[in-house]
Amino acid sequence: MYSFVLKRSDLREQDQIVTLYTLEKGKVDALARGVKKILSKNSAYLLPVFLIDAEVLSGKEVNHLTKAVPVFVYKNILEDLSKMSLLQTVFKWVNILTKYEREPKIFLLIKSWLEFLDATDKVETALAYGFLGNILTHLGFAPELDNCIFCQNKNNLVAFYPAGGGVVCKNCFLLKRQADNKIYPLRAIDLQAMSLLFASNWQKILSHNTEIANRLVFLYGQYHSERKLNKIKLF
Ligand SMILES: [Zn+2]
């Protein structure tokens, strides 16, 4: 089945557990035996830059990865350290945020993001934050960005409250900010950028992002994640 390799963890001397994101079954863990042997025919393609066709046999206790055939290599990502570091961070986020459930939309989101990253000449962290926003939306965690989460006011939206799940109007911000310092001010341009980060195509995200919007999407993702999300390090 078509898969991306999210993670590999050492198990025994020659074996690894490989975490795949598959089109058919969503996230799957599989035992890859002998994968660390130098000439292992599977290991060469168990990298995040490959779309692979993986053969996974369900066992009594564990699944076994018996074959990994390359379908496509994202060559421009492989040859660019900045692109690689965005990809590695994003795959860690996918692994943290997703459960072991079938979710073809997530597979397609990963695929479209990799295709864009492979083709673009502009490598910016906004691309990773845009992926984060979009995956949160697909997982059912889209924030409220149109109405104040306290009073439903549509106007004067001046702040974002990650723990409250959305934007806050000026009146409510003045009332609440002393009680909770985790309500963050934002400008109209940041709000616009945020709505793109949560639901838009990659090109628009690249053209209209702001640092504040990027940071708020990260804080929001962090709030909805049970584990700490890795920070982006761009080379
Ligand atoms: Zn309000």
pLDDT digits (tens, 9 = 90+) for 1-25: 999 999 999 988 889 999 999 999 9
pLDDT in tens, 92-101: 999 999 999 9
The reported pLDDT for the residue numbered 154 is 97
Q: Which residues surround ligand 1, an ion (CB under 5 A)?
A: 148, 150-151, 153, 169, 172
Domain boundary residue, one of 29, 45, 73? 73
Query: Domain range spanning residue 104?
Result: 75-235
Question: Is residue 111 domain-shared with residue 125, that is, in the same domain?
Answer: yes
Under the banding of pLDDT at 50, 70 and 90, the label for residue 235 is low
Q: What's the gap in Å between 199 CA and the centre of ligand 1?
A: 24
Q: What's the gap in Å between 126 CA and the centre of ligand 1?
A: 28
Question: Is residue 154 domain-shared with residue 212, that is, in the same domain?
Answer: yes
pLDDT in tens, 152-181: 999 999 999 999 999 999 999 999 988 888
Integer CA distances (angstroms), 126 to 78, 86, 122, 193, 203, in order: 19, 10, 10, 10, 10
Domain boundary residue, one of 47, 73, 99? 73
Flag whether pLDDT at 38 surpasses 70.
no
**Residue 96, number of CB atoms within 10 A of its CB:** 15
Question: Is residue 84 domain-shared with residue 68, that is, in the same domain?
Answer: no
φ/ψ bin of 6: left (φ > 0), alpha (ψ from -120 to 50), beta (otherwise): alpha
pLDDT in tens, 49-72: 999 999 999 988 899 999 999 999
Q: What's the gap in Å between 208 CA and the centre of ligand 1?
A: 26
Question: Is residue 2 domain-shared with residue 117, that is, in the same domain?
Answer: no
Question: Is residue 19 domain-shared with residue 114, that is, in the same domain?
Answer: no
Question: Is residue 212 domain-shared with residue 111, that is, in the same domain?
Answer: yes
Question: Is residue 11 domain-shared with residue 46, that is, in the same domain?
Answer: yes
Domain boundary residue, one of 44, 73, 102? 73
* CATH number of the domain encompassing residue 177: 1.20.1440.120
Half-sphere CA count of 166, side-chain side, radius 13 A: 18
Buried b / exposed e along 194-210 (16+ C-beta atoms within 10 A) = bbbbbbbebeebbebbb
Mean pLDDT of 211-216: 96
The reported pLDDT for the residue numbered 44 is 85
Question: Is residue 62 domain-shared with residue 136, that is, in the same domain?
Answer: no
Quote the number of domains for the chain: 2
Q: What's the gap in Å between 161 CA and the centre of ligand 1?
A: 12
